[in-house]
A and B are shown apart, each in its own frame.
Chain A
């Protein structure tokens, strides 16, 4: 049996159609994206880069000069947060939710040595930020509010439009990390009203090493990487044209039907897994990323589940401390007020285009067997 990869929330297989486009920009069109007065290879490279930018801009409703390519979501998040901070003259407060990706949390945290104050916006047990808290704690010293669009671990989608409404009244800048949402959830930057928005290529069957940052015109932000005048003079360095072309192609392939197909597979496995006794859904049921499923199996530890499933040809991850490099349980589940035990028993199944409905019964059956096996040897069965 073929390996069933259900860790698409981490990264995805590059679609062969995407790969074909990319190869063209390594093999055939390999010049740098130079000015329109350059040689033919340079102009062709530039056209490829700008076509990719145009495709992405169009569907996100981004205007000219507002989208720059980066090396990925992490870089875009670093740029958004540090770039805004280093341009700020007065405001010194930064608000981030506790369930952000590390690239947001640690970028913000690094600014504390420069005199910025970073405060964590609390979330409820579904991982949704507390808007009332935000309203009370935002002030005219607040420089930036950064809240992710959807959560990479538990799939919860945040009320960004509400965040913008509150932040704008206080004159704060709003950044949203949409790395996991990009391509999966429709985004219109105008409608959202954010100033900065992060995207990435590799969670939609595009390549790694490419991402982007939407910077609304007029947003005060420092040039990120010194070098040449690339990317509207915001980020020096030779552009990753194969990456940009690949990301744009992958984005094009993420049609509404495609997303719905994945969502229905997710819903199917969700229902089956939740039929296992003492199993809980993590994250919001209602406002949820279409490709994310995260559950906790009580009384057992996630690394054991992951290892058993891997040996049965199924790839998933857990928020258990035993699984992490830091030996800490998932900071996301802990921010949601879950117990250590709850985090240790959490398992994420994240879907992608290449999953098949037929595989899911196998995934369910194997999960059930593994959970039963581990529960049988667990000393904490809740009296069972």
Chain B
């Protein structure tokens, strides 16, 4: 039987493409978290006129399939316009790798999601949203479902870490069930902000902790 990874997965795992950071990226996004065992961050450099992905880099904290799918996703996306890149599915990424073991499919989802979110962030910040729907509680909630509660490994909505969301005049207030002194408070605050701030009509994100 041998190792349950294809040659292609192993090849990308051993020699991942486009690894690293882009200083002053045009967009970036992180999916997953250390608590759930997998995390991918994607950085994009986008040509303002052609909307083509000029450069893409990734960082990964995760297993072999996480690294390999992030690597192949960057290869698939590089040179494409953001509209084309948005359409890349996790299935395409997995197929390009010659398949993934079923239990590892979520790794492919993570890398492709990070790419999509990064592009969405870019669109929000560059006035490229076609349907300029104002940000509401539902939209915030949807986005926060991708933020992981470091204490439980569940997303912050499911784990009930996020208690209340209020959207008013471009100011998003998120009330969390955690004290300011908690060891993860800083992480939680920056991850919540990172996720909501890029939305086109959001001016400020306030994270409110429990009173200790």
Contacts and interface: CB of A to CB of B under 8 A. Distances in A.
Interface string B19-44: 11000000000100011111111000
Interface in B59-73: 59-64, 66-67
Nearest to B60: A377
A327 to B, nearest CB: 6
Contact of A379 (B13, B61, B64): B61
Interface in A263-314: 299-301, 303-304, 307-308, 311
B129 interface: no
Interface string A44-71: 0000000000000000000000000000
Contact of B30 (A299, A327, A379): A379
A286 B22 CA distance: 45
Contacts of A323: 63
A311 B66 CA distance: 18
A126 B41 CA distance: 33
A301 B38 contact: yes
Contacts of A308: 14
Residue with the greatest number of chain A CB neighbours at <10 A, chosen from B20, B36, B62, B66: B62
Interface stretch (A160-168, A336-344, A348-356): A336-344
Nearest to A329: B37
Interface in A313-351: 320-323, 327, 329, 339-341, 344
Given A340-B37, A344-B34, A377-B19, A327 B103 contact: yes
Interface in A100-153: none
B153 interface: yes
A304 B37 CA distance: 12
B11 to A, nearest CB: 11
A184 B29 CA distance: 50
Contacts of B40: 379
Nearest to B70: A377
Interface residues of A, number: 23
A18 B141 CA distance: 63
Contact of A340 (B10, B34, B41): B34
Contact of B63 (A301, A339, A376, A377): A301
Contacts of A344: 34, 37
A338 to B, nearest CB: 12
A26 interface: no
B39 A303 contact: no
B34 A380 contact: yes
Given A320-B37, A340-B36, A301 B61 contact: yes
A308 B64 CA distance: 9
B35 A380 contact: no
Contacts of B150: 339-340
B37 A321 contact: yes
Contacts of B30: 379
Contacts of A38: none
B64 to A, nearest CB: 5
Given A307-B13, A307-B64, A322-B63, A377 B20 contact: yes
A40 interface: no
The interface centre, meaning the residue of A311, A322, A340, A379 with most chain B CB atoms within 10 A of its CB, is A379
A212 to B, nearest CB: 33
B16 interface: yes
A378 interface: yes
Nearest to A327: B103
B161 to A, nearest CB: 15
B67 A341 contact: no
A226 B13 CA distance: 52
Nearest to B59: A379
A340 B35 contact: yes
26 contacts: A301-B37, A301-B62, A301-B63, A303-B63, A304-B13, A304-B63, A304-B67, A307-B64, A311-B10, A321-B37, A322-B38, A322-B63, A322-B66, A327-B103, A340-B36, A341-B34, A341-B35, A377-B60, A377-B67, A378-B59, A378-B60, A378-B61, A379-B39, A379-B40, A379-B60, A380-B39
Given A301-B62, A379-B30, 19 more contacts: A301-B38, A303-B63, A304-B62, A307-B13, A308-B14, A320-B37, A322-B38, A322-B62, A322-B66, A323-B63, A327-B103, A341-B34, A344-B34, A344-B37, A377-B16, A377-B58, A379-B41, A380-B34, A380-B61
Interface of B: 3, 10, 13-14, 16, 19-20, 30, 34-41, 58-64, 66-67, 103, 150, 153
Interface of A: 299-301, 303-304, 307-308, 311, 320-323, 327, 329, 339-341, 344, 376-380
